[in-house]
Structure 1
Amino acid sequence: MLNHLKEGHPHMTTCRQVVARMMAPGKGILAADESISTMSKRLQQNGVDPTAENRRTYRELLATAPGLSDHVSGIIFCDETVRQSFSDGTPFPEAVAARGILVGIKVDMGTKLCPGLDGETITEGLDGLPVRLAEYAGLGAAFAKWRAVFTIGPDTPSRGAIRSNANALARYAAACQQAGIVPIVEPEVLMDGSHNRGVCREVTNEVHTAVRTELALLNVDLAGIILKPNMIIEGVDYRNRSTPEEVAELTVGMLRSWPGDLAGVAFLSGGQDPVRATDNLEAMQQHQTPWPLTFSFGRALVSPALSVWRGDPELVAAGQAALLSRVTANGAAAGLRGAVQPS
């Protein structure tokens, strides 16, 4: 198969080098890329006025946590943040890079109802993407993220929703690699619902099969992407909770369909309790895999910091301590890789 980026192409080389930094042992990716509306809602829920300045201040609190780079290789921002500056006037990308952390950018435009699919969504943002990627690269972004969302229901996700979103993920990934930016490919099967973990496994496997097919058709270099999947876990309304060992066994088993040249897997937390997400990540490390398994958590890392800080300048250090507590725990879990016996 011909690849649109030939072996040795500078952009392919760049993507593989960046991926190696992102997947460094004991490090993960911090997702601080909530949309303006989502971030504003979370600020309001914590008694903080949802202004652009407070969103900026909160993201600066996260990015300046002392020693963050010990366990975080990259931070994903939204468009608003990547154009903002620290309180000292240094642009976010420059200030974060100076701390030894790679800058990422969410490039999708969110989910919209998809015509022809009753109530199901498609992630938008492909229009003009190459131009935006070039701009983000100029601003200092080294990697990007695109999230597709799938809901388990009696008749969902449909084949149409799976195929449409998988194709969009592949088109995004191909555009990123042509721009010399590493794509994080995020197909998320939501925890919403009363399904058991077996159903989650079946649906997630179907989604991943479609994503692999579309990536191959568009000649995406798997050694230059990071997969950001959901863990195989029961729905939030299911009566029995899976153990970390059960989650790990099914998740890693499902992921074994991915080729060994995939650069790495960085799990999303998907709304899990922060401690549970870490426990599940730690259990994953008991399984030998050809690619590293780490974290790319959002809420499971940043929610504790926000609930402590609550907009109080006197509590910035306390908020950072709450963030670092979770980051350190997940870094330690991811760092167990290589220290365990093969499964």
Structure 2
Amino acid sequence: GARFAKWRNVLQLDPESKLPSDLAIADTVHTLALYASICQSEKIVPIVEPEIVPNGKHDINYCAAVTEKVLKAQFAALEEHHIYLPGCLLKPNMVKNGIDGPRADHDTVAKLTVETLLKTVPKALPGIFFLSGETALDEDNEEVATINLSTMNKNFKGQMPWHLSFSYGKALQKTCIATWLGKTENNEVAQKALKARAHANYDAVMGTYVAGTCASIGTDGNVKQAAGPY
């Protein structure tokens, strides 16, 4: 089977401090490009993850502008390092508002995310696998991530040259973990919860997920390091 690796570099947003700086962006994208080059030299598929974390009060438009800037720089760096794009995958953030900023709806997140990707990601790249990203503690991060992905694939069906899918952590596992609690007697119900959310995200890849049809522990499962900023 395929062998792959993943490297994640994080960038912070802060309009007042003009973050991320050009130096931070350059360091991020060239580090990831060097990693990708090493991977491909060893016949390993690199998953490139330049993550812009949503901590802060900025609006979604600032995130869109910075994400576009970062992704343009990222693919320029990959080209400089002679990365074979059909043998590479991207794991980006969705374009979203800051956790404490004015909240954008799912259609706006989908629109700005896909438009940003269409401006920056070459057609040769076969797949984009989103990280779920952080949400405010009064939002259900599992459901939000699933709905956002489904909205993209529904609203932009046939308009994207690459496969749009998910590589979620917290937004795939929260209900499972909160149900399991490390107790053997909870194994079966926790496994069912994980399978249900995985299938919900499969539906999201098809653009057919119906909001609320996958059981979630909701905001009751939101704790620090599980759904909030880190």
Deviations 1:31-50 (A, max 9, x none): xxxxxxxxxxxxxxxxxxxx
1:259 maps to 122
5+ residue gaps, structure 2, are 136-140, 209-230
| Structure 1 vs Structure 2 CA RMSD | 1.3
User: 246, 264, 275: which one pairs with 2:108?
Assistant: 246
Q: Counterparts of 1:209-220 in structure 2 under 5 Å? A: 209-220=72-83
Helix, strand or coil for the counterpart of 2:100? Answer: coil
2:36 maps to 173
In the alignment, the residues of structure 1 paired with residue 63 and residue 125 of structure 2 have an alpha-carbon distance, to the nearest angstrom, of: 22
Q: Is the 8 A contact 2:152 2:207 kept in 1?
A: no
User: 125, 136, 150: which one pairs with 2:11?
Assistant: 150
Q: How many percent identity over aligned positions?
A: 40
In the alignment, the residues of structure 2 paired with residue 157 and residue 241 of structure 1 have an alpha-carbon distance, to the nearest angstrom, of: 21
In the alignment, the residues of structure 2 paired with residue 271 and residue 317 of structure 1 have an alpha-carbon distance, to the nearest angstrom, of: 28
Deviations 1:272-308 (A, max 9, x none): 4110110000011121200010000000011211111
Higher RCO by CA contacts (8 Å cutoff, separation 6 or greater) = 1
Q: Which amino acid aligns with 1:188?
A: E
Q: Is the 8 A contact 2:99 2:134 kept in 1?
A: no
In the alignment, the residues of structure 2 paired with residue 271 and residue 155 of structure 1 have an alpha-carbon distance, to the nearest angstrom, of: 21
In the alignment, the residues of structure 1 paired with residue 175 and residue 45 of structure 2 have an alpha-carbon distance, to the nearest angstrom, of: 29
Q: Counterparts of 1:160-199 in structure 2 under 5 Å? A: 160-199=23-62
Give every structure 1 segment of 4 or more consecutive aligned residues whose post-TM-superposition deviation is greater than 2 Å.
none
1:335 and 2:201 are equivalent in the alignment = no
Q: What TM-score comes out, normalization by structure 2 length?
A: 0.83
Helix, strand or coil for the counterpart of 1:149? Answer: strand
Q: Which amino acid aligns with 1:297?
A: Y
2:142 maps to 274
Q: What TM-score comes out, normalization by structure 1 length?
A: 0.56
Deviations 1:236-267 (A, max 9, x none): 001x3211111111001000121111111000
In the alignment, the residues of structure 2 paired with residue 181 and residue 317 of structure 1 have an alpha-carbon distance, to the nearest angstrom, of: 34
In the alignment, the residues of structure 1 paired with residue 126 and residue 39 of structure 2 have an alpha-carbon distance, to the nearest angstrom, of: 15
In the alignment, the residues of structure 1 paired with residue 60 and residue 161 of structure 2 have an alpha-carbon distance, to the nearest angstrom, of: 24
Deviations 1:87-129 (A, max 9, x none): xxxxxxxxxxxxxxxxxxxxxxxxxxxxxxxxxxxxxxxxxxx
In the alignment, the residues of structure 1 paired with residue 59 and residue 196 of structure 2 have an alpha-carbon distance, to the nearest angstrom, of: 31
1:304 and 2:167 are equivalent in the alignment = no
Cα drift, residue 321 of structure 1 = 1.3
Cα drift, residue 155 of structure 1 = 2.4
Cα drift, residue 336 of structure 1 = 3.3
Helix, strand or coil for the counterpart of 1:317? Answer: helix
1:223 maps to 86
Helix, strand or coil for the counterpart of 1:320? Answer: helix
Count of aligned pairs: 197
In the alignment, the residues of structure 1 paired with residue 176 and residue 96 of structure 2 have an alpha-carbon distance, to the nearest angstrom, of: 25
